[in-house]
Amino acid sequence: MAIVVVACTYRIFFANHQTAPINAAYVAAIKAGISGDTARNLALWAVPGALLQIVGGARQQLGVLFATGLLIASPMAGWMVAAGIACRLVAHRVLGATAREKLEVFAGGVIAGDALYSFFSGVVKSFASSRFLPFLFSSSSHRNDESMKRNLTSDDVRAAIWGGAILGGGGGGLIESGERAARLALQVGAPQLWSVDEFDPSALTATMALVGAPAAPDPHVQPAHLLRTLELLRRELPAGQKLVGLHANENGAETTVNGWFHAAMSGLPVIDLACNGRAHPSSVMGALGLHTEPDYLSVQAYAGGEPGRYVEGVVSGRLEQTSAVVRRASVEAGGLVAVARNPVNVGYARQHGAPGAISHAIALGQTYLDGGVDAVARSLEGRIVAEGEVRTYRCEQQEGLDVGIVELDDTARTVLRFINEYMLLEQGGQRIARFPDLVMTFAEDGKPVVSAHVRQGVKLRVLVAPRARLLLSRTMFMPELYRPLEKSLGEAFAPAEEEVPA
């Protein structure tokens, strides 16, 4: 019976971070494999724990009881333990030998009553805080209030990965890696998504990102590397300053969920904001236009690579220079590094980034799950412009980026050129779409296919959606940021001045 109850209710409690105090110790143990400092502290404090156990004897469990006191934050719990011991002593004096049996029955009844109350009150509180409850009393499934604090769920993971993959436009990381990282975040904690309105505009946030070439032969970023970057960045913050939240650099299968694992392990919320609402190829494009601020000092922490190629470090300086160093580090690491970078106040990120980007990816992902590619096309006011078999596929790594071309065998002679993301789409020699318009490829079964996973001989459908339907950073309209990309492709496609939004 207990197994049935747990199977039916555990998601409610886990989604709202209602877990046993011992879980905090488990998280610390996970961190031990990530942080040398944490591992040393665990080893150090194992000594007094063992001494307590030796003093009390194996049957007394003094070390465990002491740790329980550290994990339970309520002083009342400690007083109740003391009261229980006092009652036991009094009962033994008054009732004599019969006290033990009666106390065991009494204690069992108290435990049962406590458990039943905790279970049902927990269920009520979980439903009351659930993001789904307002929908039960509303004629619309769209929430109009701007403020939001909610736990991210397994449903969000699924939708965010697919929506992010589509908004990645060929880049933004790999679907399998993104899903693995996001599900791990929910296993080790309860990451929360907060709207940007929940923060003081002067509070500090930072970008969680991945930098590199997904098609590189040996990309290797582990959860340990993600946390290491946050640890390194926090050390560099000025005295008295601390981060209040974390945000993603862009939307993509892997990058929409940037920060979720960090949030689960650190307790910081994920901000419903990305530096850009679609994926982009250069780090500077995902830096909110900070390169235009003459006094801004960029700080970037990076980590990644197999043990034999592992690199980590912190670099500070002008944004273009620090970004170049991190890009080079990704090459040395085998193709990819995790990055925590560019502390900035929330107000600046909101003004120059893409607030609501994470919710947008989740909503688009749900649209895809409900109705497929055609539903996505309608939602983004886009269209399917080509269907055909891949006749030519070339991809090579240039300065830490995937650069290549896809040619289809359709009658329109469709050609896609990419630098991680699809930059240009041509048919019959005529340009049909150009970055930051969204161009995305889908397999025969309807699943998104990133540029790194396209192969010769596979059949693809090609979706194009206008940039006006995307949440874009101001960097998407800065021609100077396109110059290195244009050089790589040998094509000019930077937006003209008249295309820059007012």
Of 98, 129, 160, which residue sits at a domain end?
Answer: 129
pLDDT at residue 144, as a whole number: 37
- Same domain as 328, residue 188: yes
- Same domain as 274, residue 161: yes
Q: Does 371 map to a domain?
A: no
Which range marks the domain in which residue 86 is found? 2-129
- Same domain as 478, residue 337: no
Instruction: Give the whole-angstrom CA distance, residue 321 versus residue 269.
Output: 30
- Encode pLDDT of 243-261 as tens digits: 999 999 999 999 999 999 9
- Same domain as 350, residue 212: yes
pLDDT greater than 80 at residue 84: no
Q: Find, among 473, 272, 247, the residue nearest to 353 by Cα.
A: 473
pLDDT at residue 476, as a whole number: 97
- Same domain as 278, residue 166: yes
Q: Output 406 or 34, whichever has higher pLDDT.
A: 406
- Same domain as 181, residue 98: no
Counted domains in the chain: 3
Q: Does 170 map to a domain?
A: yes
- Encode pLDDT of 40-49 as tens digits: 666 676 777 6
Of 331, 362, 393, which residue sits at a domain end?
Answer: 362
Domain containing residue 256: CATH number? 3.40.1610.10
- Same domain as 179, residue 261: yes
The region of weakest confidence among 1-10, 399-408, 425-434 is: 1-10
Q: Does 185 map to a domain?
A: yes
pLDDT at residue 52, as a whole number: 67
The region of weakest confidence among 17-21, 87-91, 408-412, 425-429 is: 17-21
pLDDT at residue 20, as a whole number: 56
- Same domain as 304, residue 245: yes
- Same domain as 154, residue 71: no
Q: Does 106 map to a domain?
A: yes
Residues 6+ apart with CB under 8 A from 449: 441, 442, 443, 458, 460
Q: Find, among 279, 482, 461, the residue nearest to 382 by Cα.
A: 461
- Same domain as 275, residue 203: yes
User: What confidence category does residue 409 fall into, taking pLDDT thresholds of 50, 70 and 90?
Assistant: very high
* Cα R_g (the chain), whole angstroms: 27
- Encode pLDDT of 294-329 as tens digits: 999 999 999 999 999 999 999 999 999 999 999 999
Phi, psi of 312 (to 5 degrees): -150, 160
Q: Does 90 map to a domain?
A: yes
- Encode pLDDT of 101-143 as tens digits: 776 677 777 777 766 766 665 555 444 444 333 333 333 333 3
Q: Does 369 map to a domain?
A: no
